[in-house]
Structure 1
Amino acid sequence: MLGRLLLTVDALGMCFGTIMADCLNETHMFNPRWRPHAKFHNAQTVFLAIILSGLTLYYTWRRAKTPELRREFVFISAITGSIYWIAGLLSILPPGTMGVDPEFGGPGFPQSKVFVAFIATGLLGAWMEYC
């Protein structure tokens, strides 16, 4: 049960954390310096996080008729609960990307700690349920 709760924390962090960080402040959607196409990709990322969060919750709490099927659901939850965070960590790699715009205190990549914490939470939860 604790494993499912950790997967749930991962999913809710992905959904609500993304909305709070990428939509409800002046650094992203409400940044007048952002071009419409940048806002399009921001919205795409937010909706991806919401969809992955929903899938993670669905497979975390879906009833399974067999232990084998339950393990498969947990495996799927681990994948869907990690994709967004992994993509976030990889996003710093292309040249010219920054974790924080200079006008808001960059350079730096403060998100990395949050991303790693949520990946660890979800994978620990999946491991607890899987074993």
Structure 2
Amino acid sequence: MLGKALLTVDAIGLLLGAPIADMSHSHIYNDRWPPHAKFHCGQTITLSVILGLGTLFFTWRSSFLSRSTPAPVAARVARDSLHAAVFTGTIYWLAGLAAVLFPGSAGIDPEFGPPETFPQAPVFTAFAGLAVLGWAYETLLH
């Protein structure tokens, strides 16, 4: 259950993180951003929410199996669902960590801080870590 709780916290981060951080004056409401940049911001917000919903679904899917589901089938569904949950629960954060590797990108716009800083890195790493720890607890240690 601890592993599923960690995956759930990760999913909540996906569901709320991008909408809160990106629906702000530094992103979607930034008058300096061109329309296409705002399009990609909207794409990122939507992707984060969808991945959060997917992470929740796969984390708790096996809990809703019918009592008549044969034990071997239930065990396989539970295992496969947790593998899917760690995937959906980490890819957004890993993509965010990789984004600064693209030419001309930065973790923050100059008007909001030094462009060489990357304030998202600890948050992205922590949430990805929660997903991996939750998966490991449920699949390897449990």
Percent identity (aligned) = 48
Report the equivalent of 1:101.
109
Per the alignment, residue 28 of structure 1 pairs with 27
Q: TM-score, structure 1 length as denominator? A: 0.96
Q: What do the CA deviations read for 1:39-88 (whole angstroms, capped 9, x no partner)?
A: 00000010000101100000101125421221110000000000100100
Q: Which runs of 5+ in 2 are unaligned?
A: none
Q: How many residues align?
A: 130
Bigger Rg, structure 1 or 2: 2
2:9 matched residue in structure 1: 9
Question: Residue type of the partner of 2:14?
Answer: M
- On the 8 A contact 1:60/1:77 being kept in 2, the answer is yes
Helix, strand or coil at the partner of 1:96: coil
* Equivalent AA in structure 1 for residue 119 of structure 2: P
Contact 1:62 1:73 in 2 (8 A): yes
TM-score (norm 2): 0.89
**Alignment-derived partner of residue 139 in structure 2:** 130
User: In angstroms, what is the RMSD of aligned CA positions?
Assistant: 0.9
| Alpha-carbon contact 1:99-1:106 (below 8 Å) kept | no
Deviation of 1:100 after TM superposition, in Å, equals 0.5
AA aligned opposite 2:35? P
Task: Report runs of 4+ in structure 1 exceeding 6 Å deviation.
Answer: none
Distance 1:48 1:69 in 2: 25
Conservation of the 8 A alpha-carbon contact between 1:4 and 1:61: yes
Q: State the SS of the aligned residue for 1:62.
A: helix
Q: Secondary structure at the match of 2:46?
A: helix
